Amino acid sequence: MSMAYEEYMRQLVKPMREELTRAGYKELTTEEAVTEFMENAEGTTFVVVNSVCGCAAGLARPAATQAFLHAENKPNQALTVFAGQDKEATAKMREYFGDIEPSSPSMALLKGKEVVHFIPRHEIEGQSLESIFENVLDGFNKHC
C-alpha cells in the first residue's frame, strides 16, 4: 500500500476512534497491548470492535458511548479495537472471544477472560439505537 493511502485511512478513521475514546474507552492498537491487558484483566471489561461501516457510525458507537456514560451498573473497564485498521490487535482480541464468529462492529462483555454477553453485527445492523442501547444495558445489569 502507498503511504498516501495509509495516511488517508488514518485521517479518515480518526474521528471514529475518538468517538469512543472521548467516552472513556481505552483503545488497544497492537497485539501486545491486547495481550498485556487481557492477561491481567480483572472484573468486567466491555469491548467494542469498532468499524468504518455505517452501522458502526449510526448505531454501535452511539449505543456503546451512551451506555457506558449513563449506565448505573458499569463494567470495570471499557476497551476498543478497530477492525480493518489495527488488524493484529483485533485478531488477538477475537481470540479471547472463543468460538464466537468474528463480527464487526460487535460488542463483548467479559468477566475476567470469559465472554458473558455478546452483541454481533446482526444484532446491531438494522436495529434501532434504543434496542442496541437496551441490549448493552441488559448485559451490564446482569453481569456488572
Give Rg (Cα) of the chain.
14
Q: Are strands 77-82 and 44-50 parallel, antiparallel or unpaired?
A: parallel
DSSP 120: -
> C-alpha cell of 32?
501486545
At residue 47, what are phi and psi to the nearest 5 degrees? Answer: -120, 130
DSSP 144: -
Q: Which of 9, 13, 16, 53 is catalytic?
A: 53
Q: Which of 23, 55, 108, 132 is catalytic?
A: 55
Give the span between the Cα atoms of 127 and 105, in whole angstroms.
Answer: 13
- To the query of whether residue 55 is one of the catalytic residues in this protein, the response is yes
Give the span between the Cα atoms of 85 and 67, in whole angstroms.
Answer: 24
Looking at the annotation, which residues are catalytic? 53, 55
